[in-house]
Amino acid sequence: MFEDYNEPKIKKEIHAYWIHDTARDEASIKGYFILPTCICSNCKTQQASEREICPKCGAIMDKPATVKTIKTNKKK
């Protein structure tokens, strides 16, 4: 007997992660604080907060979230 192996015809899964916005905060040890707003690493659409799936591009956000790197122009 042969088994038919049909690949499921689902959309190609996109895996992505959130990149959180940061704001400068001189009082903080790091020099910034992390905002709840974040952008999808795949489609760069901003969201008010993290979601499991990007509502814009449908990416599965199962990769660890990161923080947007900000340039600190600290002059001595």
Binding site for Zn ion (CB under 5 A): 40, 42-43, 54, 56-57, 59
Which candidate, 71, 6, 75, 76, places its Cα nearest to that of 32? 71
Q: How far is the CB of 67 from Zn ion (least distance, A)?
A: 17
For residue 20, what are the contacts with CB-CB under 8 A and spacing of at least 6?
34, 35, 36, 37, 38, 65, 66, 67, 68
Q: How far is the CB of 25 from Zn ion (least distance, A)?
A: 27
The smaller minimum CB distance to Zn ion, of residues 34 and 58, is found at 58
Q: How far is the CB of 14 from Zn ion (least distance, A)?
A: 8
